[in-house]
Chain A
Amino acid sequence: MPAVAAVAVGAAVLAPPLLASADDQGLPPVTPEELVAQVAGAEAPALSGTIVYTARLGLPSLPFGTAAGADPVNLMSGSSTLRVWTDGETRSRVALLGAASEYSVVHDAAQAWTYSSDDDEVVHYTLDAADVARLQELEKSGPPVQGDLPTPQAAADAALAHAQELSTVSLDGVTTVAGRDAYQLVVTPKSTTTLVGRTVLAVDAETSTPLRVQVWSAQDDTEPALEVGFTDVTFATPTDAVLTFSPPAGAQVREVVVPLPTDAELAGAAQEKTDGTLPAGVTVHGEGWDTVVEVADVDVAGLVAGDPEALGDLAQHEPTIGSDSAQALLEDFGRDPSQGAPGELDPTALFDAITTAVPEGRLISSDLFSVLITDDGRLLLGAVSPQTLQGLA
């Protein structure tokens, strides 16, 4: 009897994945070119679903790393769950879920809200009236375009041709993502020195919506280093209740008016983009997957520690704890004891925990990318091995 029960439970756990295994039958074959064109040409669908993001970057584990609630910092490592709802047009909601908390971003045409359940704070982003009028006009007339707009097919061909200079683009077998059949587009770098092994994009066969992105490290072939994808998706317009937001009574609402860039600024930005000029102090080594970006004159210590707003926050409720050693521990790691759990970590301690000392400075090494911060204030970043960066420094 217990054995029967165990078998029944085991079957209940294991059966759904087995039943859900994809069958290649029934899906029309596509070429990579067709698939890319379909994705480029597809309209953003109305959908609601759950997205799970998992990072296995091989970074050193953080102290108290998993203790925090719904905090964007958690995206650095481990796994996060997001819920998304969108009507495919101007309204959407994204919620980052914590065990007993939630961080929501609601976008509703020309305004947006963020809400954090941890501190009950609402931020309301709006455009001023003149900008709203300008945006509406822009939407009516469409953005200014020089020359002809490329068709999705042409844009896809161009993108694919560009990608194929540096990578091999191929199709993998049909897979199942969130219970839906999906094609898999695999982009494999031609370079052998980059840390990126391959990137796999799973595209829904029916709606051509990208359902999952995996980035595999060249060093680990068992699990993707980065994975973000739907675990559950429904293609239907969500209810209005989900897509609108009104701040709760009693919550503090911070109003932020976002300036819309003027036409002149937009033109300037476009110009800069086509020129390919880099901001001062930034140099680029190598090309393609082996690109290393070097930024000079980075005040790392200032960047890590100097956050005036955070300091102001700290001054408001300076924690005191009875025991000296507990106080010291708190000063080492904690910043905000008010939440009980050590929600935010002291950035300096965090920086020391994830970097290692090398002769050139401090190094962050992961399965996908390396960052070297030299003692003379340069920052080198690339999807290459730490040795390559040290050679360049």
Chain B
Amino acid sequence: MSHADPLASATVAPVATAAPVPRAQPGAFGRLLRSELRLVLGRRRNVVLLSGLGAVPLLLGLVVFLTRDSAMSGQGPGFIGRVTENGLFLVVASVFVCLPFLLPLTVGIASGDAIAGEASAGTLRYLLVTPVARARLLVVKAAGALTFVAAAVLAIAVVGLVAGAVLFGLRDVVLLSGDTVPLASGALRVAGIVAYVGLSMTGLVAVGLFFSTLTEVPVGAMAATVVVAIVSGVLDTLPALDAIRPGLLTHHWLDFAELLRIAPDWGVVAGGLGVQLAWVVVFGSLAWARFTTADVSS
């Protein structure tokens, strides 16, 4: 696929639309990636967002801890009822609580801002002035967004683990089937859940990245990404759409519970990750096609 025809955008700075493919300098990619990660993880609003997500398990743990002797003890959606017995479940419960909205919001902010944020700040064309291929810049931006999402999931998990251990203690893990497994293997399962949830966000990151290449308004791309996750969740509740539901972005998100069954069916886990891979492939290539051919005027 070729780059945009310079004649089509004669009014904009030639350097932005143009482009002989820059020759890569040794180490340039690594430097670009490092600077992107420093930018993403150091940006104040991102740090605030991470702290906010980290506060969720803390808040959840404190509420459960303070009400543990009241009549409301052991009540609540998902895994909250199990938290009092085993602090390890605070990780699972927190992830469960953040999954429907807070994590998609985080993904939206991270990926929607990736390209559109640079465009709106007017820095995108300067990035392209430096000898860096657009595809490579896209990969770096994707890596930055993925890193931030991973950091968000890890923040929830680590705070959940520490708060759970302090407030409730860690014990052997009672699975959904009622069987008990040793703490070490239970912790491994919970680590698997955190990894699965993190990987479940990759499809949405690709969607957000694609939206981000369409617009110069980062808020638009962020909102559109969150809307995709919510609409997907709504469509998933309609029985009339049975045929397409298994392919929906959000359909397999709760399949992380598979890792808490006595004999996890790895086919289910692989199926969920496969759907994410499909979304990554489709929307990643769309983002690539759009970004490598678009006129960048700001």
Contacts and interface: CB of A to CB of B under 8 A. Distances in A.
Contact of B282 (A5, A61, A246, A339): A5
B162 interface: no
B8 interface: no
B77 A13 contact: no
A251 B174 CA distance: 10
B176 A117 contact: yes
B174 A248 contact: yes
Interface in A330-350: 338-341
B285 A249 contact: no
A95 B78 CA distance: 18
A249 B75 contact: no
B178 A247 contact: yes
B79 interface: yes
B71 A317 contact: yes
Contacts of A101: 176, 257
B291 to A, nearest CB: 12
Interface in B242-266: 247, 254, 257, 261-263, 265
Given A1-B285, A100-B96, A338-B75, A245 B261 contact: no
A99 interface: yes
B77 A83 contact: no
B233 interface: no
* Most interface-central of B74, B79, B262 (chain A CB within 10 A): B262
A108 interface: no
Interface string A56-82: 000001000010000000000010000
B282 A2 contact: yes
Interface in B173-209: 174, 176-180
Contact of B239 (A8, A48, A78): A78
Contact of B178 (A5, A117, A232): A117
A247 B85 CA distance: 14
Contact of B265 (A61, A232, A341): A232
A100 B178 contact: no
A4 interface: yes
B54 to A, nearest CB: 23
Interface in B65-87: 71, 74-79, 81-82, 85
A281 to B, nearest CB: 38
A85 B261 CA distance: 13
Nearest to B288: A1
Interface residues of B, number: 39
B265 A9 contact: no
* Most interface-central of B74, B78, B176, B261 (chain A CB within 10 A): B176
B237 interface: yes
B262 A248 contact: no
Interface in A97-113: 97, 99-102, 104, 113
Contacts, number: 99
Contact of A241 (B77, B79, B176, B179): B179
A50 interface: yes
A263 to B, nearest CB: 35
A315 interface: no
B278 A12 contact: yes
A120 interface: yes
Nearest to A61: B239
A250 B85 contact: yes
B241 interface: no
Nearest to B96: A100
B286 interface: yes
B1 interface: yes
Contacts of B42: none
Given A1-B1, A8-B281, A9-B278, A245 B179 contact: yes
A99 B178 contact: no
Contacts of B267: 232
A245 B178 contact: yes
B282 A102 contact: no
A338 B73 CA distance: 10
A4 B281 CA distance: 10
B196 to A, nearest CB: 13
B78 to A, nearest CB: 5
A249 B286 contact: no
* Most interface-central of B79, B96, B254, B278 (chain A CB within 10 A): B278
Interface of A: 1-2, 4-6, 8-9, 12-13, 48, 50, 61, 66, 78, 83, 85, 93, 95, 97, 99-102, 104, 113, 115, 117, 120, 122, 232, 238-239, 241-242, 245-251, 317, 338-341
Given A2-B285, A95-B177, A117-B177, 19 more contacts: A1-B1, A1-B285, A5-B284, A5-B286, A50-B265, A61-B239, A97-B261, A100-B79, A102-B261, A120-B74, A120-B174, A238-B263, A239-B263, A248-B178, A248-B179, A250-B174, A251-B178, A338-B75, A341-B77
18 contacts: A2-B285, A2-B286, A4-B285, A85-B263, A93-B177, A99-B257, A100-B176, A117-B178, A120-B81, A120-B82, A232-B267, A245-B179, A248-B179, A249-B171, A249-B180, A339-B75, A339-B77, A340-B76
